[in-house]
Structure 1
Amino acid sequence: MAGAGTGSEASASPTASDLAPAERPKIDLPSDLSYTFDWPKTGDKEKDAILADGEQSIKAVDLAIVNQDALDKPYLFYYEGEAAAGTQKFVQNYVDHKAAVTGAYRFYAPQVAVDKDGTASFSYCEDQGKAYVKDLKTNKAKKTEVTAKSYVIYHTSLKKNDKGVWVIQKMVSQSGSPKCQP
């Protein structure tokens, strides 16, 4: 595997978002996308790694939409099986409609649980109130009003792969979640 066994170790004082940086894909998003992750470090190494990989997995899906590539490698780095298949369909819908994403996303209320068998669950809320779909033909955002459906809860099941990355195996979401309402 590329990057494996190169002898490059993490810096002396790695942060959660700095875990094995040589192995994780670089995710460069356009300046019209912004993210706020209101999920402070827990102090637990595994939970903080899940939060860091979760942040990158979210951005990787948006990168696939921006790249108009339903098989974009960065998100496939963080998603497997059922979750990868569902994400491929999600991204393909944007590709089919010649659409991208723009605006500001906020993620909050994280809940992480790590099981002894090497799996984990991770739930979080998303505020899409200032995030929009952008028509790539006109390059204009389709501004929508903030409604209860602007608040989405995600439930994911993860496992740590052989590279030490927490990959999402299953994901379900619910728009208009009462738990995520302001």
Structure 2
Amino acid sequence: MNRRPTLLAAIALTAVAALSLSACGSDDSSKKKDNDKIAGADTGDEKSPSPSESAADSAQRPKIELPSDVTHIFTPEQSDDTVKNAVLKDNAELIRALDAAIVAQNPRLPALEFYTEGEGAVAAQKWVKAFADAGWTITGKTRYFDRQVTVSSKNTASLSYCADESKAFSKVIKTDEIKKTEVTKNSYVAYGAQVEKNDEGVWELMKISSTRGADRCQP
């Protein structure tokens, strides 16, 4: 397998049953604005954060560092909807945490555990372990696009997105050999994820699924 494997493909390498990654929603009420102003207060153009924003900001998110040869592009990067924006941001951090864990060859990287729970955590750990067992890491640029969030309830949401891996590859750690392949339909992957908001306001990955070569992700 020359091209960087998807999460489910990597899990298959370790003979673990594929777990589906789908997104669960958040509550639209979280985007409610604080419109009640205190008389005489100088607020200028600043807006008071919504309850969901305050909760999310209270979480001490880990600092994720990646080598200069591993980069990501997220489109859209954010949303005008408060809840959807929070889901998009934590999804981006999850993806970065997954790649950081692969680079570190550490399935239990604290940053990865911070953004995963339940089946999502098991799937992510198996994915990272598959790279570690193969002696591979990653390199290149991955573009994540058509990122769509569907809010289901106060603490659940579903997220779908595409990945352009035409410039992302696996790399053999011992030799630094980059497993480059030509760009084909399989360079594009469709993902679906279920996420849930924990008590700290973090949208954790609960389940995920992937389809390499999906028609909806083709350029």
TM-score computed with the length of structure 1 as normaliser? 0.87
Matches within 5 A, 1:32-47: 32-47=69-84
Query: Which residue of structure 2 lines up, in the alignment, with residue 78 of structure 1?
Result: 115
Provide the secondary structure at the position in 1 that maps to 2:57: coil
Match of 2:215 among 141, 159, 178: 178
Provide the secondary structure at the position in 2 that maps to 1:105: strand
Moved over 2 A (4+): 19-22
1:92 maps to a residue whose letter is K
CA contact (8 A) 2:162 2:191 kept: yes
Provide the secondary structure at the position in 2 that maps to 1:56: helix
- Name the Cα RMSD after superposition: 1.7
The structure that has the greater radius of gyration is 2
Matches within 5 A, 1:17-32: 20=57, 23-32=60-69
Provide the secondary structure at the position in 1 that maps to 2:149: strand
Query: Which residue of structure 1 lines up, in the alignment, with residue 12 of structure 2?
Result: none
Provide the secondary structure at the position in 2 that maps to 1:108: strand
Identity score, percent: 43
Matches within 5 A, 1:133-144: 133-144=170-181
Gapped regions of structure 2 (runs ≥ 5): 1-45
2:139 maps to a residue whose letter is T
Give 1:21 deviation, angstroms.
Answer: 7.6
Give 1:139 deviation, angstroms.
Answer: 1.4
Q: Highest relative contact order (Cα 8 Å, sep 6+), 1 or 2? A: 2
CA distance in 2, matches of 1:87, 1:54: 13
Match of 1:155 among 170, 182, 192: 192
CA displacement 1:5-53 (0-9 Å, x = unmatched) = xxxxxxx888x8xx52861011000001111111143211100000000
Q: What is the number of residues matched between the two proteins? A: 168
Query: Which residue of structure 2 lines up, in the alignment, with residue 116 of structure 1?
Result: 153
CA distance in 1, matches of 2:71, 2:179: 17
Mark the CA change 1:99 to 1:21 in structure 2 (over 3 Å): closer, same or farther.
farther
Matches within 5 A, 1:164-175: 164-175=201-212
CA distance in 1, matches of 2:72, 2:174: 25
CA displacement 1:40-78 (0-9 Å, x = unmatched) = 432111000000000000000000000000111111111
